[in-house]
Amino acid sequence: MPPGVPPKSGLPVGDLPSQCSVTVDMPTPRSALAVGAHPDDVEFGCGATLAKWAAKGCAVHHLILTDGSRGSWDADADPAQIAAQREREQRDAAVILGAGHVEILPIADGELAAGIEERRRVCAVLREVRPDVVLGHDPWRRYRLHPDHRNAGWLVVDAIVAARDPHFHSDLGLAPHRPAALLLFEPDEPNHVEDAGRFADVKIAALLAHRSQYRSTHGIDEAAGPPGSQVREFAERVRAQMASHGALAGLDCGEAFRLLDDI
């Protein structure tokens, strides 16, 4: 492996494809809205940042765009039961991060489209919550396989444009809102890092609340024996990835984003 190139973590948030100069730590926002395609995406992408901001008084909100009902490798599992479990896990994880409101849209896992009606729904949430900062998937991330992640990214970008301009979705009866900044996680070209050193353990605890994802996403197979060592290995992989993110800005631990602040 070439010097200076971080090892691949195998975590679903994705490793950094490039390095560039970055800014560090924006002022703590009054409110933040994190938008994920599925339950657990927010925790992977920006869990430590949200926990840091919540500890400083930021009102943190989650918007999850699908029900996660296909998030299991068990072919005999009931999708409705999977969705119910994943909703409980998401709400538990949000509490661990210090987040407040969690909204999960009734869209089936794998069927998220970046259409006008979906944009209207996200626009409505933006105008209702009125966040200073929005966080979401980077739709420009190259070679992304999962369609929900791609479409979730486009929906965030498109809904911000809609929410800020008064003639988009005026039938909602909600005043326009223009966030101050957009932070895209899973960044194709990161240009901002949030120092997350004190909150790595909180992020890991929130991820471990998503117990239904242990086997398929976390690499923890409880059927193979006591999960303790596998949990420790998962935590080490999360910390290693956060170290590679932080290294972009000379930090021991961080979360990297593409920052857009001219919106």
Q: How far apart are CA 68 and CA 83, in angstroms?
A: 6
Which pLDDT score is estimated for 4?
47
What Rg, from alpha-carbon coordinates, does the chain have? Answer: 18
In a domain, 205, yes or no: yes
Q: Which residue has the tokens 């400083």?
A: 56
In a domain, 5, yes or no: no
The model scores a pTM over 0.75: yes
Q: How far apart are CA 102 and CA 200, in angstroms?
A: 22
In a domain, 11, yes or no: no
CATH at residue 48: 3.40.50.10320
Helix (H, G, I), strand (E, B) or coil at 181: strand
Which pLDDT score is estimated for 3?
41
Domain count, the chain: 1
Helix (H, G, I), strand (E, B) or coil at 77: coil
Question: How does pLDDT run along the chain (263 residues), one tens digit per residue?
Answer: 444 445 566 677 666 655 567 899 999 999 999 999 999 999 999 999 999 999 999 999 999 999 999 999 999 999 999 999 999 999 999 999 999 899 999 999 999 999 999 999 999 999 999 999 999 999 999 998 999 999 999 999 999 999 999 999 999 999 999 999 999 999 999 999 999 999 999 999 999 999 999 999 999 988 777 778 999 999 999 999 999 999 999 999 999 999 999 99
In a domain, 1, yes or no: no
Which pLDDT score is estimated for 233?
95
Alpha-carbon separation of residue 24 from 49, 230, 250, 251 (angstroms): 12, 32, 10, 9
In a domain, 37, yes or no: yes
- Provide the domain limits for residue 161: 25-260
